[in-house]
Structure 1
């Protein structure tokens, strides 16, 4: 029994922690940063002021994780973020394809708790920093759950707290609101009438309990639903992220007035539910109950801190190349009216770029606090560019970049800005690529990769000569195209089976993007009018063009509602069908038509459909396309870009094998193999369901064997883009093989096969 007599003023229990890196904020950015740093060997502390990880992705807010793929609503093919972000999304798909937010909570927590170098402090809020000159020496944080004050000291800090509490307290330069158009020559910069800040949103879920449920609104709920100009959009099928436009606060201080913003959003939600339940306009709502309402709003924007570079509209639109690129983005520049749900304007205005863009390292550290990294939505960006960089998967990729940069700073005993030196930046980019990060325009030469000196061979190689029909048809209500990698030289002949209501001529065109590695059809290479009879027939397409270089091309079959084409169930890495039927979730037209003078490109959207609907067009190709050889696994990037960059096995090969051969034995202490996780699939984390737990392109079971046929390692049930094997003792061999035992349906494919001493 503890008994204490009366005393003078007492002090709270205090815990002192010394770390290599302190990360403040456990949203996706902070979580990915902390995991990446811990895996690099840094003693890392992650401080999160909420009871769970994930921030806006957590069960407290329930917004889906999304980034460059934009719900398959733009032309950014194979663009999903890699590294830790992808690892989380893949695991969530495998365990939780129905999108239960509580399961995602457990996955995020598991990823953090599995790291021995990582200390997690939940329910702990930082409220003080200690400075030594222009550097942070420690932070003070309080956890009311265990009544403990933590003082955490480190040479390096990352603020990924959303509002930038540590950066603010430390005195880091920041911005809040929209820049004038003139500052960065941003035609899309909003004026005061539109609003200079994005507001908060709050979601709610409903449940059908099978018996009538009454509802009496609280006295403070919104009484007049017509105060919401878009109130006619409400229906009983909407819930969760469909209510992203229940937004408020863009005219207020989105930091210090967050409680007022939350109360207004509650007022709206409970008033909306009163309208649905009691207006008489929704008889189908009789058995619905309000299952869940967000307790905290999802914040979009507050402070943005200044780094040594501020990314802006032209960087996004022009997809400018940066020598210090460490992450990529691809979400639209997505701005919302300041009046939010009460605005008569559309809930958002989105303008896409023609492809993904790189984010420079200089955006990820403070320009005046010398040991402070910036993570998440508070990185160095203008308000317009922030409209794109703010989304969670993009923030997660940036978090991984910061975590690995911190490891390099630790090793070199330097400050974040010092990594801008060319040799240090090349090393940072090499390490990011090793961990699965995609860096647009960068493919690092990794001298440590033993596979660079090996010869790659395979038991078979895929030749794209035919995509067999499943006997189903697609009507040409829209134009369709096959996005196909073609070799330099003459274009092969293509043949499609058509079914026509009457005789006519089918227009078929060959297009490519202006920039290699992008997927917007901008340059017409060739076009044909191919006659066809009434009824069924094979239509042969023989373009006359010769291609000056290899790359992806669109074989486009133009719209004709009187014609149907056969489709195929065959799926192959690096080959996909697209159409110009737009995605209504993120666009209002099949063509992006910006107003004149705002600095945004006009272009067509060419989009794949989600599985299970997303099927290729059935066709034959003569001569066969041969770009899937084993040599592709020796270099990157590990996803389709200019070409597929993958070895793909012949579908008829029942036991595919891939081999690396060296002229002399090498000592192998680590093997990294990168499979195909379908980089095109958005893998939204909550609410939206997915058709499978493992994408059909994935290798599911395999063995690693040496030149004598000895099995070194066996793996079953695999479902991740990256496989890493660290043997207990290094393996000395002149030959290393990958024997594939099972795939998830598509032909076996490998992007990269690396070995390290």
Structure 2
């Protein structure tokens, strides 16, 4: 018997894109159904596959960690699962999804049929894999988050499979002639060391040692008894099978043969100290990299990724490398991957739909990109952001009763505003919320941190390619750094400016510089280039020196130093005219993260108080606070106990000390009395929305921060106050 379900928005696929799409649609006011074919959420990041999530920050872009809906999941995971256990990551995803009152979750539900009517998707049919349940799910808007474009193909949407030629989209990184091959799939495995000897007898199907040796050390394919988890991402197969969608069993079996063969080689070749090592977990479900990419109203291409620009319908951003993997996988003699760094770039809404099927959207790996652009957008943090954008667009379409064929610039602006209200970021675009009451209020604070440098606590030896970055304002001509040199020496390098700095792409070149540093420890004036606009200024060392830059213990948001090939950042002792750098005006500026400037208010002490006072009574429906979780460091879904240095990953030791932990929010009524409407003692969120039970008439608002996770200062990016937006 076919059971009937209905959602204003129906999401198929429960990976990062699908989870974020469903939550965003539900938070946007749409009754939403999420269908997931597996027993757990998370897709490639789940405990079934265990690829850790990465994105723009992992590719060298500073202050660029992805937030929004995905940030809620990541911050909750950091709080409840600091060791990065992939099993607990599953539970974080499930827990937050189940909290959404407008979201119905259907796990173990495989969609095997799509029903079309008048050029639109009318329904999908899903079979519950644990029993006899069979569902017909109707909806107003459908989102294909399957990764394979399953709904899109059934609906007749054209797609790319393989590599386009250079001439098709004008891409220098594409092959001269089109190719059918794609990036392959991977199985991962975890290793642990026991307190006793553990023998390993391989299954008969495992590849023999001779075959394993034939693939090792080609293109940096290295094995070790201490490697595990994502260290074996290069165990790839299936890219030459034209997407392998009809041969995934063969791909999976080949990968299993490889893993068992590799482990047999480690255990029994006599070349490794592996007597006590054993397999803790082996994946049985491959992590796919690339299959179909839908042809949408706009197809993202190499130029959009390499040279970021502003789209009128910018909806989310990417920032991972253009990351090519050879289609021949482990059989290839090429490098196991080629990673080309990029700066954060906008991706438009139009990559999420082909308006010939106006009630079908796409999110995740199957959005509209070329193979070259896909090499960057395929990373899970970017897929998650695309899901939030698709969910927000779907909720807007469902509410307006229109399809994507009606998305003009005005409609795109409304969707963009909804995304902005939910912590989306569009590099290069400042979204102003016309309903935000905060900018019209008089703003006072208990005190502001003056931006002074703290006591020296360490140092960074300034070898070639080491860098330090700090914020500067237009016209700034003075800054000093605290150096320590054993003898007088020259420091040679170059200046770069950027709205967001990067250890790999530091920005626009502003000229070479040579600075003579005297012996001993002292402050030295930095010869700044001409600064025409507020930005981050980065110095990159041009050659090795014996000079060290002193560092401080606590981060001043916007100040970082380190090395090009590492993520163990420190905080440089740089000083200048920074009295107003962290002033309260940023609380209502429209920015809620570093871009061009730190854009954060930092208090001079705790407790810290912010007051907004209006000349007239306001009806307040929601207050949204945005805190600082240190966006310069990654927050992955999971990780193994050990990992290879090549990942360039530095784990967080715990919750960010900069994050606000405890606060109280009060409103002053028309009677002049303050009333506490919310008290939080154990905050883990970056974005914290507070919705009173009913809109409240108030003449003032007061935020009192009483504790952080370690910093002596409160840090708040933004306070947004809106009337009831329902």
Q: What TM-score do you get using the length of structure 2 for normalisation?
A: 0.93
- Quote the residue 1:267 is aligned against: 257
Q: 535, 538, 545: which one pairs with 1:554?
A: 538
Please state whether the residue corresponding to 1:105 is helix, strand or coil: helix
Map Cα deviations across residues 319-377 of structure 1 (whole Å, 9 max, x no partner): 13211110100111111111101111111112122x11111111101343221101110
Measure the CA separation in 2 of the matches of 1:673 and 1:575: 23
List alignment gaps of at least 5 residues for structure 1.
Answer: 1-12, 584-608
CA drift at 1:152: 0.5
Q: 433, 438, 461: which one pairs with 2:448?
A: 461
Measure the CA separation in 1 of the matches of 2:153 and 2:465: 52
Determine if the alignment matches structure 1 residue 696 to structure 2 residue 682.
Answer: no
Q: 567, 572, 593: which one pairs with 1:617?
A: 572
Q: 201, 222, 240: which one pairs with 1:251?
A: 240
> Contact 2:467 / 2:541 at 8 angstroms: preserved in 1?
yes
Determine if the alignment matches structure 1 residue 749 to structure 2 residue 715.
Answer: yes
- Quote the residue 2:525 is aligned against: 541
CA drift at 1:183: 0.4
CA drift at 1:180: 0.6
Measure the CA separation in 1 of the matches of 2:495 and 2:56: 26
CA drift at 1:41: 2.0
> Contact 1:99 / 1:685 at 8 angstroms: preserved in 2?
yes
Cα distance change of structure 1 residues 276 and 406 upon mapping to structure 2, 3 Å threshold? same
Measure the CA separation in 1 of the matches of 2:180 and 2:349: 29
- Quote the residue 2:387 is aligned against: 399
> Contact 1:451 / 1:754 at 8 angstroms: preserved in 2?
yes
Determine if the alignment matches structure 1 residue 278 to structure 2 residue 261.
Answer: no
Measure the CA separation in 2 of the matches of 1:461 and 1:117: 41
Cα distance change of structure 1 residues 531 and 50 upon mapping to structure 2, 3 Å threshold? closer
Determine if the alignment matches structure 1 residue 334 to structure 2 residue 323.
Answer: yes
Pairs within 5 Å for 1:66-215: 66-69=54-57, 71=58, 73-74=59-60, 76-190=61-175, 196-215=181-200
Cα distance change of structure 1 residues 648 and 245 upon mapping to structure 2, 3 Å threshold? same
- Quote the residue 1:634 is aligned against: 588
Q: 677, 684, 701: which one pairs with 2:636?
A: 684
- Quote the residue 1:734 is aligned against: 699
Measure the CA separation in 2 of the matches of 1:688 and 1:86: 21
Measure the CA separation in 2 of the matches of 1:469 and 1:31: 44
CA drift at 1:625: 4.8
Map Cα deviations across residues 685-737 of structure 1 (whole Å, 9 max, x no partner): 11157333311211111111235554332111112111111112333222211
Q: 344, 364, 383: which one pairs with 1:356?
A: 344
RMSD: 2.1
Pairs within 5 Å for 1:710-725: 710-725=675-690
Measure the CA separation in 1 of the matches of 2:485 and 2:197: 51
Q: 270, 287, 301: which one pairs with 1:312?
A: 301
Pairs within 5 Å for 1:438-587: 438-470=425-457, 472-500=458-486, 502-507=487-492, 510-513=495-498, 520-524=506-510, 527-533=513-519, 536-543=520-527, 547-555=531-539, 559-579=543-563, 581-583=564-566
Measure the CA separation in 2 of the matches of 1:172 and 1:506: 58
> Contact 1:29 / 1:375 at 8 angstroms: preserved in 2?
yes
- Quote the residue 1:345 is aligned against: 334
Measure the CA separation in 2 of the matches of 1:510 and 1:182: 36
> Contact 2:309 / 2:428 at 8 angstroms: preserved in 1?
no
Please state whether the residue corresponding to 2:239 is helix, strand or coil: coil
Cα distance change of structure 1 residues 448 and 517 upon mapping to structure 2, 3 Å threshold? farther
> Contact 1:526 / 1:543 at 8 angstroms: preserved in 2?
no
Map Cα deviations across residues 403-457 of structure 1 (whole Å, 9 max, x no partner): 11111111111002312x1221111011000011111222222111111211222
Please state whether the residue corresponding to 2:546 is helix, strand or coil: strand
> Contact 2:30 / 2:399 at 8 angstroms: preserved in 1?
no
Measure the CA separation in 1 of the matches of 2:381 and 2:18: 12
- Quote the residue 1:586 is aligned against: none
- Quote the residue 1:368 is aligned against: 356
- Quote the residue 1:432 is aligned against: 419
CA drift at 1:668: 1.1
- Quote the residue 2:601 is aligned against: 647
Please state whether the residue corresponding to 2:689 is helix, strand or coil: strand
CA drift at 1:303: 0.8
Structure 1 window deviating more from structure 2 (360-369 vs 681-690): it is 681-690
> Contact 1:702 / 1:742 at 8 angstroms: preserved in 2?
yes
Please state whether the residue corresponding to 1:128 is helix, strand or coil: strand
- Quote the residue 2:375 is aligned against: 387
Measure the CA separation in 1 of the matches of 2:140 and 2:481: 63
> Contact 1:327 / 1:359 at 8 angstroms: preserved in 2?
yes
Map Cα deviations across residues 89-113 of structure 1 (whole Å, 9 max, x no partner): 1111111121111100111111111
> Contact 2:311 / 2:348 at 8 angstroms: preserved in 1?
yes
Map Cα deviations across residues 656-691 of structure 1 (whole Å, 9 max, x no partner): 211212112212121001111222221111115733
CA drift at 1:185: 0.9
Please state whether the residue corresponding to 1:77 is helix, strand or coil: coil
CA drift at 1:489: 2.4
Measure the CA separation in 1 of the matches of 2:354 and 2:179: 29
> Contact 1:468 / 1:570 at 8 angstroms: preserved in 2?
no
CA drift at 1:542: 4.8
Cα distance change of structure 1 residues 483 and 564 upon mapping to structure 2, 3 Å threshold? closer
> Contact 2:489 / 2:547 at 8 angstroms: preserved in 1?
no
Please state whether the residue corresponding to 1:483 is helix, strand or coil: strand
Measure the CA separation in 1 of the matches of 2:528 and 2:276: 63
